[in-house]
Amino acid sequence: MVARRGTSVGNVNESKDLQNVGLLSENYNADPDFQTFWDVWTDIRDNYVRQPIDETKLFYGAMSGMLRATEDSYSDFFDPELTKAFNEELSGSFNGIGVEIGRRNDAIVIITPLEGSPGEQAGLRPGDIVLTVDGKEIFGLSLEEVVSMIRGEIGTTVALTVISEADEQPREILVERQKIEHIGLRWEFLENDIAHINLSSFDKDSENLLNQFIREMQNRGGVDGIILDMRNNPGGFLDMSIEVASEWVNNGVVVKEKDNKGEERVHHSRGNPRLENIPTVILVNEGSASASEIVAGALQDFGLAQVVGKKTFGKGSVQKYEILPDGSSYRLTIALWYTPNDRQIEKDGIVPDFEVELTEEDINAGRDPQLDRALELLGK
């Protein structure tokens, strides 16, 4: 996500029948009468057969229902337990299987497994559609409900049934839950004076780690080129994406937000672009989403980097994240974002300048044609 730090089933005929007998008024779509809500709440509290009723659970259910009713994939509610887990994930340390999941076309999908995570090692791949968790079908469940089913105690296992476009049959993946200690930015200096930066998430440490890389690079006399590897980067904090892009973009627009009133908020680079004059290639794939798409889109628009790999996930919206007094929280989509050249990539993604496949056979053989293409473009 991009977040500001802070930041019985009925059918149509049944409905018609109810309308005919007067149980649904002609004002069905009128503005809500909150007294009706309290009437139903009171009826459940006083008359539901299984008592006592957990009013906290009712309250959280109503909150979750409101966010789900937006029919937005990225707006959701977290009870206090899930809020704690979510905040741990943003901090880079949490218990789980190390995958980022999201909703697309009413399906729960794997956006990306973190590098070296139990999920990646077990065989989960970007784009996998989750069908069941521990044998239970998840269709119709909220994103937070699926997250809570996947999380659990360290050392226990969870079974995910998944399928992708490349699969003829669903696959069952058994994953052991572990303590995930994630470092979102690593780098190495290749023998040919190329710096390979692996940026796998935009979290609270991204700016400090990037500063450490730049100091080390300068101390060794600079480099001839940079490969910014954001493959399988699911995103993170909006302000961190702006900080990263600002190391290349000199006094320019990094990203634009447009809200429901059409008002535009423009985020500019923050000066002193220390990497501006170094030839750069960006690597992306289907697991690159949100903040990673902001950086790739900005550098591509300004001609500051060539983009190699596969079309990105297509997460072009901005969420605010609010923690409530009782420890619960919610995310709400408040804007769509646009690249400097006014590209809106929601569901369409960033299209690489050079599309290069990385197949399962390549991975098993230890080959990386996407990285090889980046090295070719840098003349190495």
pLDDT tens string 52-75:
999 999 999 999 999 989 988 889
* Span(s) in the chain for CATH 2.30.42.10: 93-181
Dmax over CA atoms of the chain, in Å, equals 82
Token pair for residue 50?
């299984």
Three-state secondary-structure class, residue 143: helix
The Cα–Cα gap between 376 and 380 comes to 5
Q: What is the pTM of this model?
A: 0.74
Contact 124/167 with Cβ under 8 angstroms? no
The Cα–Cα gap between 145 and 136 comes to 12
CATH match of 185-323+330-377 with 3.40.50.300: no
Per-residue pLDDT tens for 261-289? Answer: 989 999 999 988 999 999 999 999 998 99
Nearest CA among 204, 7, 199 for reference residue 90: 204
Q: What are phi and psi of 130, to 5 degrees?
A: -85, 125
Nearest CA among 156, 275, 296, 265 for reference residue 226: 275
Q: What local confidence, expressed as pLDDT, does residue 22 receive?
A: 38
Q: What local confidence, expressed as pLDDT, does residue 91 receive?
A: 60
Contact 153/142 with Cβ under 8 angstroms? no
Token pair for residue 39?
């009437």
Nearest CA among 121, 82, 81 for reference residue 99: 121
Three-state secondary-structure class, residue 86: helix
Mean of the pLDDT values across residues 200-227? 94
Q: What local confidence, expressed as pLDDT, does residue 142 receive?
A: 79
Q: What local confidence, expressed as pLDDT, does residue 98 receive?
A: 87
Q: What local confidence, expressed as pLDDT, does residue 24 receive?
A: 40
Token pair for residue 374?
């980046």
Token pair for residue 185?
């930015």
Sort 42 into a burial class: Cβ within 10 Å, 0-12 / 13-18 / 19+: exposed
What percentage of the chain carries pLDDT values higher than 70? 90
* Span(s) in the chain for CATH 3.90.226.10: 185-323+330-377
Q: What local confidence, expressed as pLDDT, does residue 101 receive?
A: 86
The Cα–Cα gap between 205 and 195 comes to 19
Residue 114, CA distances (Å) to 92, 123, 161, 206, 231 in order: 11, 12, 19, 16, 10
Extended strands (E) in 49-126:
76-78, 93-96, 99-104, 107-113
Token pair for residue 370?
């996407």
* Residue 182 DSSP symbol: -
For tokens 């985020």, name the residue: 267
CATH match of 93-181 with 2.30.42.10: yes
Nearest CA among 190, 228, 235 for reference residue 210: 228
Helices (H) then strands (E): counts for the chain:
11, 21
Contact 337/318 with Cβ under 8 angstroms? yes
Contact 113/120 with Cβ under 8 angstroms? yes
For tokens 């996998």, name the residue: 128
Find residue 227's DSSP bridge partners: 196, 281
Per-residue pLDDT tens for 123-177? Answer: 998 889 999 999 999 988 877 789 889 988 899 999 999 998 888 899 999 999 9
Catalytic residue numbers? 290, 301, 315
